[in-house]
Structure 1
Amino acid sequence: MTAVGECSAARELFLRAPAAGPALALVVAVAVFSVFTDTFLDPDNLSLVVQQSLVIATLALGQTLIILTGGIDLANAAAAVLATLVMAKLVLGGTPGGVALLLGIAVTTVIGAVVGTLVTQVRLPPFIVTLGMLTMLTALAKLLADGEAVPTDDPLLTWLGTRRYLFGGIEITYGMTVALLLYLGVWYALTRTAWGRHVYAVGNAPEAARLTGIKVNRTLLSVYLTAGVIFGLAAWQALGRVPNADPNAYQLGNLDSITAVVLGGTSLFGGRGSVLGTLVGALIVAVLRSGLTQLGVDALYQDVATGALVIAAVVVDRVARRRD
């Protein structure tokens, strides 16, 4: 096979399997950090890396659905933070943990419904809607918390942080299992159902999708509602990770989730990508931060490196789309 043929075959592979490139990048990053650090491949460190990625990975899952339709959500982390405060406050006031959890998820679902309605019925750009929602939700969270974090020790709200050990030494949490099942569920919905095909079609060409009989507005609204539920589960993950509802938490969670989506091979222009790629993207972010921290790299330089990777990923996506 000639060099041109090999390049063409590689490009075809990445177009058909957008998660292939990110998966290769993750393997390379792990290999590099395992060479230059003594502790990176320790089971405890690898478990910690995965645990640190859980909240962002869950936020990124909902973000992926929205970006696949050509939209974006700048308020996902703010919605999750508000939900953690609602849950913690309700439990503090005597509400059972199960009821508090359901109401917290209901909050993020209602937010998703409002955003979806403004996008589909009022025809507002998702960027503008979620930017305004980000400001409002951030303010509401601080008002609800009255400037203070709200701790909780409710067994259900903190259940996802429960630790267990595989093979006697590999630490896992229930949150890891829930996140994996959530990803598999959304992957199945996107790749094996008519709804998933509609999501991709709307992201590729909404007018063409409408002409083929797809209810574009209904599909978009269902995506924002589904993402809202997922953001509520991200709030549950956050309380399992740190049993303290803090109005100042995850201030960059929206950008981190977008970073995971882009690094995972999902196109910011909609219609192309996969949730499995997003999971890999979230792990790439966590691996980079852990590895660079162990190498003694300043956090600001870590942000520079992450930002450069995002720009590079968007450039690659743009070039691939043009060639496609």
Structure 2
Amino acid sequence: MPTTHSVPPVASAPASRRLADRMPSLAEIGPLVALVLACLFFISQSNRFLSFQNFSLILQQTMVVAVIAIGQTLIVLTGGIDLSCGMVMAFGSIVMTKFAVVLGVPPAIAILCGVGASTLFGLLNGVLITRIKLPPFIVTLGTLNIAFALTQLYSNAESVSNLPDAIMFFGSTFRVGPAEVTYGTVLALLMYLATWFVLRDTVPGRHLYALGNNPESARLMGLKSNRILIMVYSLAGLIYGVAALLLVARTGVGDPQAGQTENLDSITAVVLGGTSLFGGRGSIVGTLLGALIVGVFRNGLTLMGVSSVYQVLITGMLVILAVAADKLSHRGR
């Protein structure tokens, strides 16, 4: 008797693969799930957490690091890292406040000078990395110390106060229902929207992902890697200058002691948001969620009366877990 063989359906496997391709990856939905779970936990622990005013406060406390994390994300997507971002921001804030208060420069010009100073630091990072072929870790570690020294020298280690109202604009608020929202929060969200569009729907955004995913293939495709890197680091410096303006508007002073932890906070936001430290994978929306996760944890633990030391401990544990997950995912690929 002749044997019969069942023929597996040919179309089922490709269809399942297409369905899997449409489904969001763990790196994409993980930060959102973590944020929701964190909110649910703190809602159960404090009746003050679930309020419009508290959520507005979280956004205000997060916006500076969130803006810095935009620049950090662009750099990490190329496979680099920037340790100097916090101190570059601090230097930019001192430049714009000293120019406005001490030199009497019009506020708009003073702001442009501060943002320009931060942009020059970003340009310096990009040139050293591309022209001398130094590792980004070493270059930005060096410029971190340079920016810190220049900030202390130029400010005489003293805060700059009595700022003009124009520089303080983004710290002012408007009401949305029962909550007060700062104009700085709106600016930060608009910057995320613009970055999301550029990375998702423009040629430069695709080039940036290609460079981070495989630099050699990008070179063979004809991409000018050095030019892209210089532009990315310079743009990141400009973004740090905007963060400096938001910092000054929120605190009301030019503080030379600012920016000493923002580099690690921004990297934390990027990593928790699912962006791979190996480059080429990640999203700016994930970075925003990562920044909010850090803000929610610190706010919730404060409402619970937990010491700030434990807040730092928990944040460090989250970073290690996120990097470990990224490492395992990269190894699997």
Structure 2: any 5+ residue segments left out of the alignment?
1-15
Partner of 2:300: 291
Partner of 2:194: 185
Partner of 1:97: 107
Partner of 1:13: 24
Task: Name the CA distance, whole Å, in 2 between partners of 1:198 and 1:221.
Answer: 13
Task: Name the CA distance, whole Å, in 1 between partners of 2:130 and 2:23.
Answer: 34
Count of aligned positions: 315
Secondary structure at 2:274's aligned position in 1? coil
2:164 maps to 1:154: yes
2:264 maps to 1:255: yes
Closer, same or farther in 2 for the Cα pair 1:13/1:320, shift >3 Å?
A: farther
In the superposition, the TM-score normalised over structure 2's length comes to 0.92
Partner deviation per Cα, 1:26-70 (whole Å, 9 max, x = no partner):
011001101110100111111101100000000111000000000
Secondary structure at 1:89's aligned position in 2? helix
* 2:231 aligned residue (222, 226, 238): 222
Aligned pairs (5 A) from 1:11-90? 13-14=24-25, 18-90=27-99
Structure 1: any 5+ residue segments left out of the alignment?
none
Partner deviation per Cα, 1:78-97 (whole Å, 9 max, x = no partner):
01101111111011121000
Question: Does the CA contact (< 8 Å) of 1:210 and 1:216 recur in 2?
Answer: yes
Aligned pairs (5 A) from 1:101-116? 101-116=111-126
Amino acid of the residue matched to residue 36 of structure 2? V
Question: Does the CA contact (< 8 Å) of 2:100 and 2:163 recur in 1?
Answer: no
How far apart are 1:152 and its partner, in Å? 3.8
Please, what is the CA RMSD of the aligned residues?
1.6
Closer, same or farther in 2 for the Cα pair 1:10/1:211, shift >3 Å?
A: closer
Moved more, 144-153 or 130-139: 144-153
Question: Does the CA contact (< 8 Å) of 1:19 and 1:280 recur in 2?
Answer: no
Partner of 2:182: 173
Task: Name the CA distance, whole Å, in 2 between partners of 1:177 and 1:298.
Answer: 31
* 1:133 aligned residue (134, 138, 143): 143
How far apart are 1:153 and its partner, in Å? 2.5
Closer, same or farther in 2 for the Cα pair 1:47/1:310, shift >3 Å?
A: same
Identity %: 48
How far apart are 1:20 and its partner, in Å? 1.3
Task: Name the CA distance, whole Å, in 2 between partners of 1:156 and 1:27.
Answer: 37
Task: Name the CA distance, whole Å, in 2 between partners of 1:10 and 1:51.
Answer: 36
How far apart are 1:145 and its partner, in Å? 1.1
Question: Does the CA contact (< 8 Å) of 1:47 and 1:172 recur in 2?
Answer: yes
Partner of 2:331: 322
Task: Name the CA distance, whole Å, in 2 between partners of 1:72 and 1:111.
Answer: 14
Task: Name the CA distance, whole Å, in 2 between partners of 1:244 and 1:283.
Answer: 25
In the superposition, the TM-score normalised over structure 1's length comes to 0.94
2:164 maps to 1:145: no
Amino acid of the residue matched to residue 281 of structure 1? G
Closer, same or farther in 2 for the Cα pair 1:137/1:223, shift >3 Å?
A: same
Closer, same or farther in 2 for the Cα pair 1:299/1:97, shift >3 Å?
A: same
How far apart are 1:166 and its partner, in Å? 1.0
Task: Name the CA distance, whole Å, in 1 between partners of 2:147 and 2:163.
Answer: 24
Question: Does the CA contact (< 8 Å) of 1:63 and 1:258 recur in 2?
Answer: yes
Task: Name the CA distance, whole Å, in 2 between partners of 1:133 and 1:270.
Answer: 22
Question: Does the CA contact (< 8 Å) of 1:91 and 1:152 recur in 2?
Answer: no
Secondary structure at 2:112's aligned position in 1? helix
How far apart are 1:11 and its partner, in Å? 12
Task: Name the CA distance, whole Å, in 1 between partners of 2:24 and 2:192.
Answer: 23
Secondary structure at 1:171's aligned position in 2? strand
- Larger Rg over CA atoms: 2
Amino acid of the residue matched to residue 206 of structure 1? P
How far apart are 1:9 and its partner, in Å? 5.8
Amino acid of the residue matched to residue 119 of structure 2? T
Closer, same or farther in 2 for the Cα pair 1:38/1:116, shift >3 Å?
A: same
2:254 maps to 1:232: no
Task: Name the CA distance, whole Å, in 1 between partners of 2:304 and 2:166.
Answer: 37
Task: Name the CA distance, whole Å, in 2 between partners of 1:132 and 1:224.
Answer: 15
